[in-house]
């Protein structure tokens, strides 16, 4: 393949592990994103004084009751998705890694998602799953962006590619199992991914993944958004409905508009 040594190393790491963790490619964009969160939190909770980003994010469970968590989360999601330029900043944080792993003609999910996981709260769990099991295209990657340090059970887990292949080959044996039973069957093989603020995680959403009860003392905040090559096959989530093109090169634009001469 005609790729550079650094691109080959990144590719090999992704294919072997099913993920990469790298420093944010544009820290100014990431810092801007976190500042938008602080503004939205201040508005939602009617906080007038200046607040410390680390404290309010990590200790938000002291401000918001568990019963109000989902409404609060949805309010924050609506808020940042309505901010002009938010998705572009998100893309810039991971851009060079996406160029190498996915391509430079990209489609991006229309809305960025958000996970807020309070300590010792079982109401925000994401059971073990692979997105492809629900009809997503295997040509997608997830850009997972924390705005606090995520470690231990405050993070997420992923089943490595070799173990995922084993599970897939014997998946019929899991028929009738619920998600908890499925997780317990692979719990010794999953890898917990520690990702700090200032880093970006890109992972293969066709690999089983999820989270567990956050037994750390701090709240987890992480965003996720899918990217794929514009011209790769789509699953149930279609272009124009779930994805939109964000990068189209000149040759593609001229090719798409080309018409043969009338004869």
- Residues 242-256: tens digit of each pLDDT: 999 999 999 999 999
| CA gap 93, 5 in Å, rounded | 22
- Residues 67-113: tens digit of each pLDDT: 999 999 999 999 999 999 999 999 999 999 999 999 999 999 999 99
Assess whether pLDDT exceeds 80 at residue 149: yes
Residue in 43, 49, 136 with CA at minimum distance from that of residue 83: 43
* 3-state DSSP assignment of residue 14: helix
* 3-state DSSP assignment of residue 143: strand
| CA gap 232, 247 in Å, rounded | 14
What does DSSP say about strands 209-210 and 220-229: parallel, antiparallel, or unpaired? unpaired
Assess whether pLDDT exceeds 70 at residue 182: yes
Its pTM stands at: 0.95
- Residues 197-244: tens digit of each pLDDT: 999 999 999 999 999 999 999 999 999 999 999 999 999 999 999 999
Structure tokens at 163: 């173990």
SS in 3 state form for 235-252?
CCCCECCCEEECCCCHHH
All structural domains of the chain:
5-234 (2.60.120.620)
């Amino acid at each position: 393949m005609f790729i550079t040594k650094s691109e080959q190393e990144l590719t090999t790491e992704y294919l072997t592990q099913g993920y990469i963790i790298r420093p944010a490619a544009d820290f100014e964009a990431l810092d801007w994103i976190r500042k938008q969160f602080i503004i939205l939190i201040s508005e939602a909770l009617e906080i007038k004084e200046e607040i410390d980003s680390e404290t309010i994010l990590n200790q938000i469970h002291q401000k918001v009751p568990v019963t109000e968590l989902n409404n609060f989360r949805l309010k924050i999601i609506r808020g940042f998705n309505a901010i002009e330029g938010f998705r572009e900043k998100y893309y810039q944080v991971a851009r060079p890694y996406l160029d190498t792993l996915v391509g430079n003609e990209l489609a991006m999910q229309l809305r960025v998602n958000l996970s807020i996981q309070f300590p010792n709260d079982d109401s925000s769990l994401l059971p073990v799953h692979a997105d492809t099991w629900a009809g997503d295209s295997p040509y997608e990657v997830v850009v997972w962006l924390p705005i606090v340090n995520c470690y231990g059970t405050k993070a997420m887990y992923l089943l490595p590619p070799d173990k995922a292949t084993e599970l897939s080959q014997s998946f019929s044996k899991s028929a009738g199992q619920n998600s908890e039973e499925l997780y317990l069957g692979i719990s010794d093989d999953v890898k917990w991914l520690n990702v700090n603020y200032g880093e970006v995680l890109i992972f293969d959403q066709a690999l089983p993944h999820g989270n567990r009860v956050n037994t750390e003392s701090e709240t987890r905040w992480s965003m996720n958004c899918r990217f794929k090559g514009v011209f790769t096959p789509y699953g149930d989530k279609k272009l124009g409905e779930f994805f939109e093109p964000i990068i189209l090169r000149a040759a593609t634009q001229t090719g798409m508009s080309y018409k043969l001469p009338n004869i």
